[in-house]
Structure 1
Amino acid sequence: MAASIPGQISAPILSQKQRKAAQRKERRRRKRQAVAQSKEPDVQGEAEKESIGDEEDGEDNDCAEEERLRLHEEWLERERLAQEEFRLRMEREETARKRKEEEERMIKEEWEAQQRREQEEKEQRLQERRDREEAVQKMLDEAENQLEHKGPWMNPEAPVTTNSENYGTERDVANCPFFLKTGACRFGERCSRKHVYPTSSPTLMIRGMFMTFGMEELRRDDYDMDACLEHSEEDLHDSFLEFYHDVLPEFKSVGKVVQFKVCCNYEPHLKGNVYIQFETDDQCKEALMKFNGRWYAGRQLQCEISPVTRWKNAICGLFDRRKCPKGKHCNFLHVFRNPGNEFWEADRDLHLSPDRSLQGQSQRRLVLGAIKRALV
């Protein structure tokens, strides 16, 4: 039998113990294979999960990078805006600094110009003063020279006549315009201009005839608050009415009275002055001889012929409207209103003086100029 199957290897004969060990080994191998086959889907799932996680991590990283880039761009924008604001603020500060320097420069130049003007004015005043002193000294030398030679000395008068174009105006260097318009001057005999006393006029002026206790006690102090306690405007007006009805019949006994004015100014040269305009010059002269030197209310009357014939030129044009800026210290006449509006025709200058042509025009220009200066 062995010859019929040549080359065949016979299987080893195992004992029972070896067969059991081989079976156990085989069973373990199969178990391992089964366990391996059961774990293979889990490994694939974990791999898939890991791949999905890696993708999610990549997406998260991309989102974080985008957020970082967005924040960086926002920071860059804020930085740009801050730089722009800083640049604008620096430009404004520079502009303000230059403006301040320009203002300081202009103020300094203006101050220097003012100082130069003041210095020039001071030098001019000093020069004028020296010129006046030299002129006075020259006149004194001439006077001494003439006195030494026993010659008469007379002050020279300006060559201005009543026919001059500037007669009665501020440009009239010879005649006092206030005396021509009101018949009174606050400088009196000390005035630098001539006071032309008329030889004949229809107007008679009595200085200080109307005087009340309040007017006598009044002082030229606008800040004296107690001055108004001594008298009131009502008391003053009542005193004027009593005075008006007391003295007017006496003046009417001389002749026809055309105008009657009583001053209520506080200036010494106008305070209490009474103006009476008659119809003719002869009546005025008669009244002068009758009333001059008489006594009234404890005072002796001082009468004089006044050059006033144009009442619009003598009376303050702003007083009637209560707009005079100087008040009762004005140098033009502030007069009481006559009761019953008596003598209103004369207020319209219906009765004019014979020489009203040139003199009236000059006085009108002067009054208008004074009113304009008062308004300014």
Structure 2
Amino acid sequence: MSEHLASIFGTEKDRVNCPFYFKIGASRPDIITPGLDSLGNPIPPKQLQQHFGDLYEDLFEELSKYGEIESLNICDNLADHMVGNVYVQFSEEEHASNAFKNLTGRFYAGRPIIVDFSPVKDFREATCRQYEENICNRGRYCNFMHLKKIGRDLRRHLFGRYRRSYRSRSRSRSRSPYRHKS
């Protein structure tokens, strides 16, 4: 056991001492390649984007059961340690704990959900800036997050509910001279 620990010390396999893990919150599991149908044929881009929008909405609805979501990021990378990674940031730590507790041991699309708290505090630091500028020469095998984007309408639909509820709470507070604890 000590030989094994010594052999992985400071590498990507060593979550405790790997600086890269703390930057992007991922290690290298074995996962299948996305973007292919059940026969291994590529899925057309338009159909893939529609599927992604459906997936994003499904995940958002499920995760919203545990609390207010500040951000939901899904990696578009193909590197083994990044493919299939979903990062959700809740507005409250207790919401994240509740999601962790309730999602552990569950399955999505027949595959186990592997839940972990991420050490990432700022997703901008973990995101590939070159990808955002469409100049990443490592492509989808880059070691930094290539975050798949959703359409503006879907974003407004999903995240707009929080703005509306926040606005309505703000208005009700501004009209009342008293503050109420919920």
Same-fold call, TM cutoff 0.5: yes
Which whole-Å CA distance do the structure 2 matches of 1:337 and 1:290 have between them? 27
Q: Alignment partner for residue 24 of structure 2, among 182, 191, 194?
A: 182
- Secondary structure at 2:89 match in 1: strand
1:302 has 2:138 as partner: no
- Secondary structure at 1:304 match in 2: coil
Task: Go from structure 1 to structure 2 and tell me whether the alpha carbon gap of 1:277 and 1:211 turns closer, same or farther (over 3 Å shift).
Answer: farther
> Which residue number in structure 2 is paired with residue 339 of structure 1?
151
RMSD: 3.1
User: C-alpha displacement at 1:293, in angstroms?
Assistant: 1.2
**8 Å contact kept, 2:35–2:48:** no
- Secondary structure at 1:305 match in 2: coil
**8 Å contact kept, 1:212–1:236:** no
AA in 2 matched with 1:184? A
* Structure that is richer in helix per residue: 1
**8 Å contact kept, 2:79–2:143:** yes
> Which residue number in structure 2 is paired with residue 312 of structure 1?
124
Which whole-Å CA distance do the structure 1 matches of 2:78 and 2:37 have between them? 7
Task: Go from structure 1 to structure 2 and tell me whether the alpha carbon gap of 1:277 and 1:256 turns closer, same or farther (over 3 Å shift).
Answer: same
User: C-alpha displacement at 1:185, in angstroms?
Assistant: 2.9
Unaligned runs of 5+ in 1: 1-138, 141-153, 159-173, 189-206, 219-228, 344-376
- Secondary structure at 1:245 match in 2: helix
User: C-alpha displacement at 1:275, in angstroms?
Assistant: 0.5
TM-score, normalised with respect to structure 1: 0.35
AA in 2 matched with 1:285? S
Which whole-Å CA distance do the structure 2 matches of 1:211 and 1:296 have between them? 16
TM-score, normalised with respect to structure 2: 0.68
1:246 has 2:58 as partner: yes
Give % identity.
29
**8 Å contact kept, 1:215–1:266:** no
- Secondary structure at 1:241 match in 2: helix
Which whole-Å CA distance do the structure 1 matches of 2:54 and 2:131 have between them? 23
Structure 1 residues 150-200: Cα deviation after superposition (integer angstroms, max 9, x where no partner): xxxx96xx9xxxxxxxxxxxxxxx8322201111134x7xxxxxxxxxxxx
> Which residue number in structure 1 is paired with residue 171 of structure 2?
none
- The structure showing larger relative contact order (alpha-carbon pairs under 8 Å, at least 6 residues apart) is 2
- Secondary structure at 2:116 match in 1: strand
**8 Å contact kept, 1:262–1:273:** yes
Q: Alignment partner for residue 140 of structure 2, among 328, 335, 339?
A: 328
1:214 has 2:56 as partner: no
**8 Å contact kept, 2:74–2:147:** yes
Which whole-Å CA distance do the structure 2 matches of 1:239 and 1:212 have between them? 11
**8 Å contact kept, 2:22–2:119:** yes
> Which residue number in structure 2 is paired with residue 69 of structure 1?
none
